[in-house]
């Protein structure tokens, strides 16, 4: 593996520890980034309108 770009995570933990949720979120982020659907947010506003 190339240490500068390749990553390997070993995710361990108890049952119901959130491992599947973490992996699901990573997969969703990777998929949307690869499709160009995510823009880096410089400014986000959640103020009441």
pLDDT of residue 5: 73
- Position 30 pLDDT exceeds 70: yes
Six token digits for residue 42? 């410089």
Rg, Å, the chain Cα set: 16
Say if pTM beats, i.e. exceeds, 0.75.
no
Residues with Cβ within 8 Å of 20's Cβ and at least 6 positions away in sequence, in order, are: none
Residue 26 Ramachandran class (φ > 0 left, ψ -120 to 50 alpha, else beta): alpha
For the chain, domain boundaries: 1-36
CA pair distance 21, 41, nearest whole angstrom: 23
pLDDT score for 32: 82
Q: What is the DSSP string of 10-23?
A: -----TTSSHHHHH
């Amino acid at each position: 593996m190339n240490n500068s770009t390749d990553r390997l995570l070993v995710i361990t933990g108890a049952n119901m520890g959130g491992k599947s949720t973490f992996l699901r979120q990573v997969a969703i982020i990777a998929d949307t980034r690869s499709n160009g659907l995510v823009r880096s947010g410089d400014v986000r506003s959640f103020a009441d309108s």
